[in-house]
């Protein structure tokens, strides 16, 4: 992926996903929701599941009236692991790779806030004279959020590294 593609989130897989029908994306969301619902039943957790399609991706959100009800499964690492399992369940059921996004109890918004703080600290290092500031490795979804926040702050960013070592580097624009 080029640096520009990393910043914009554009690559050939996004173009391929743009051709995925709304019906297919909704079917992926339904398959993921079925998997998550079964998991909630096994764990004896109450939660409401909402399915949406945004930006060519199915989004499955789990919420509860009592935010503490989902506390055991809404940590970032747990949500990422459950998202990967849900993607595998979708692939098993539909035969298609899914770029599904899973949110449990507002975990994605909480993570966006954490990433924004991380970006602010990195930008402070650049403003103090560092040529660049590297962030820790993170998923492509989180890097996309970081690139968006960095651009909002008037700085530049690009991704470097491979696989699980891929991370974002922030520089002056």
* Main-chain dihedrals φ then ψ at residue 49, nearest 5 degrees: -110, 130
- For 167, the token pair is 């991370």
Confidence of residue 19 (pLDDT cuts 50, 70, 90): low
What pLDDT, in 10s, does the model give residues 97-144? 999 999 999 998 999 999 999 999 999 999 999 999 999 999 888 999
Kind and range of the H or E run holding 133: strand 133-134
Task: Taking each helix axis as running N to C, give the angle between helix 76-94 and helix 22-42, from 0 to 180 degrees, rounded to the nearest 10.
Answer: 120
For residue 28, pLDDT beyond 60: yes
Task: Taking each helix axis as running N to C, give the angle between helix 140-152 and helix 107-127, from 0 to 180 degrees, rounded to the nearest 10.
Answer: 50
DSSP 66: S
> What pLDDT does 49 receive?
97
Q: Burial level of 135, CB count in 10 A (0-12/13-18/19+)?
A: buried
> What pLDDT does 55 receive?
84
* Main-chain dihedrals φ then ψ at residue 56, nearest 5 degrees: 70, 20
Confidence of residue 10 (pLDDT cuts 50, 70, 90): very low
Contacts of 162 (CB under 8 A, 6+ apart): none
- If phi over 0 gives left and psi between -120 and 50 gives alpha, with beta otherwise, what is residue 46? beta
DSSP 162: S
What pLDDT, in 10s, does the model give residues 35-74? 999 999 999 999 999 999 998 899 999 999 997 899 999 9
For residue 1, pLDDT beyond 60: no
> What pLDDT does 77 receive?
86
> What pLDDT does 146 receive?
97
For residue 79, pLDDT beyond 60: yes
Nearest Cα to Cα of residue 40 among 64, 11, 8, 76: 64
């Amino acid at each position: 992926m080029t640096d520009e593609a990393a910043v914009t989130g554009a690559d050939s897989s996004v173009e391929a996903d743009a051709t995925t029908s709304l019906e297919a994306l909704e079917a992926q969301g339904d398959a993921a929701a079925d998997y998550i619902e079964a998991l909630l039943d096994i764990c004896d957790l109450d939660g409401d599941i909402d399915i949406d399609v945004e930006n060519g991706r199915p989004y499955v959100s789990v919420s509860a009236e009592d935010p503490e009800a989902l506390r055991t499964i809404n940590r970032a690492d747990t949500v990422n692991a459950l998202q990967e399992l849900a993607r595998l369940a979708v692939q098993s059921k539909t035969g298609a790779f899914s770029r599904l996004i899973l949110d449990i109890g507002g975990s994605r918004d909480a993570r966006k806030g954490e990433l924004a703080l991380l970006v602010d600290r990195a930008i402070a290092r650049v403003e103090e004279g560092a040529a660049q500031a590297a962030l820790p490795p993170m998923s492509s979804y989180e890097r996309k959020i970081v690139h968006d926040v960095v651009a909002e702050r008037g700085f530049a960013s690009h991704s470097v590294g491979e696989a699980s070592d891929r991370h974002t580097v922030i520089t002056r624009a």
